[in-house]
Amino acid sequence: MPELPEVETVRKTLKKLVLHKTIESISVFWPKIIKNPVEVEQFTDALKGETILDVGRRGKFLILYTNQFAMVSHLRMEGKYGLHSKEEPFDKHTHVIFHFTDGTELRYRDVRKFGTMHLYKKGEEFLKPPLIELGPEPFSKEFTEEYLAEKLKKTNRKIKPALLDQKLFVGLGNIYVDEALFRSGIHPERIASTLNKNEISILHREIVATLSEAVKKGGSTIRSYVNSQGEIGMFQLELYAYGRKGEECKRCGTPLEKTTVGGRGTHYCPSCQKL
């Protein structure tokens, strides 16, 4: 599942591929992906003749801006965008095609079909679901140590599920939350309200550092991101914790453990992250 840094890489790549292209028509083969407007024809009619002016991001959502509209797109588990010529064949997993006037097309392919698209008049996108529910961006001025402390103080949830809640702030998914907690030396099952000021300070620093390192690394290797199928791929940072069950901790050498916290597979060092 792509997380904020991967979505940011997709955003930059997608922008280079589709900027200033004009939509001639749209084919929708799996209407359930379109969540707003309810009628798929309204979605396709509205975007006809529109030119893509920018590609933005909010949390893990991509936002395609046209003259009048903002299309909010979530890739969920498997969603991928790719730019193709109209002659190229496509398979049954391609669910939405934006046909451009220059003979190319932007294809949305999604094996699991969990992805979503919401279309709003520009300016309304932040006032409606899904974006209205999101907390601040991790790199924004609002996401301060004080903000994090204030929010964590009020919750009796375990720290990992608390940090995964995108209403608190956006950007941490299952991979980078394990990384940020590892780097902070905090056990994923600690009750959020028991973290002291110093721990929150370290945690805040490591959340921002983990995400910004991943964004930076993705940004520097952007060209390799369009694979041979013309699809935009994902970058992943070298990881300390996630996916390393049984391997040696890079700090202390203890084998890492895997458990389940809040229903999610969770990796941690039993020695560096004491409960």
Q: Which residues are known catalytic residues? A: 2-3, 60, 264
What is the Rg, in whole angstroms, of the alpha carbon atoms belonging to the chain? 20
Choice between 6 and 178, CB closer to Zn ion: 178
At position 124, the amino acid (one-letter code) is E
Choice between 230 and 270, CB closer to Zn ion: 270
- Please report, to the nearest 10 degrees, the dihedral formed by the alpha carbons of residues 165, 168, 170, 172 taken in order: -50
**Shortest distance, CB of residue 251 to Zn ion, whole angstroms?**
5
Choice between 26 and 180, CB closer to Zn ion: 180
Choice between 143 and 240, CB closer to Zn ion: 240
**Shortest distance, CB of residue 101 to Zn ion, whole angstroms?**
56
**Shortest distance, CB of residue 269 to Zn ion, whole angstroms?**
3
The count of other CB atoms within 10 Å of the CB of residue 108 is 22
Choice between 13 and 273, CB closer to Zn ion: 273
Nearest alpha-carbon partner for 168 in 127, 197, 199, 207: 207
Q: Are 190 and 261 in contact (CB under 8 A)?
A: no
Restricting to residues 256-275, name those near Zn ion by CB under 5 A.
269, 271-272
Binding mask 211-250 vs Zn ion (x if CB under 5 A, - otherwise)?
--------------------------------------x-
**Shortest distance, CB of residue 268 to Zn ion, whole angstroms?**
9
Q: How far apart are CA 125 and CA 109, in angstroms?
A: 23
Nearest alpha-carbon partner for 75 in 142, 13, 22: 13
| Beta carbons within 8 Å of 107's beta carbon, 6+ residues apart | 81, 82, 83, 84, 90, 94, 96, 97, 98
Binding mask 3-32 vs Zn ion (x if CB under 5 A, - otherwise)?
------------------------------
**Shortest distance, CB of residue 242 to Zn ion, whole angstroms?**
14
Nearest alpha-carbon partner for 148 in 169, 131, 173, 172: 169
Restricting to residues 162-201, name those near Zn ion by CB under 5 A.
none
Residue numbers of the site for Zn ion (CB under 5 A)?
249, 251-252, 254, 269, 271-272
